[in-house]
Amino acid sequence: MNSAKRYIKNNNIVFREEDDGAFLFDPDTGNLKYLNKSAKETFLMIDGQNDSSQITNRLLKLYPDEDSEQVRNDVESFLQELLSNNFVFHTGGN
């Protein structure tokens, strides 16, 4: 059984998609975050089923020329930022 941390979106967050990115807005706190294209793609993969390594692997398929370690670090950092701002929560796993 995979015990990796999975994430789920905060249902109170407003997601507004733009041509080359998106905005996340938390009406409870007033937090606003702009997402570039790859961050938007990452956010859309957060579904309670994908853990960070699965998200990383999917991004590497979309961006095969990128350094895998850099993508992994960027995904982990981004997920932690979303978590600390309550845009996402942990679900299952550790």
The tens digit of pLDDT for each residue in 6-61 reads: 999 999 999 999 989 999 999 999 999 999 999 999 999 999 999 999 999 999 99
* Domain 6-91 listed as CATH 3.90.930.60: yes
CA distance 6 to 14: 21
Return the amino acid letter for 40.
K
Read off the pLDDT band of 1 (50, 70, 90): very low
Read off the pLDDT band of 2 (50, 70, 90): very low
Radius of gyration over every alpha carbon of the chain, rounded to an integer in angstroms: 13
Task: List the beta strands (DSSP E) in 1-94.
Answer: 6-9, 14-18, 21-25, 32-36, 88-91
Domains of the chain by residue range: 6-91
Residue 7 near residue 83, CB atoms below 8 Å:
yes
Q: What is the pLDDT of residue 91?
A: 87
Residue 7 near residue 90, CB atoms below 8 Å:
yes
Q: What is the pLDDT of residue 93?
A: 56
pTM score: 0.89
Quick one: which of 2, 3, 13, 4 has its CA closest to 86? 13
Partnered with residue 35 across adjacent β-strands are: 22
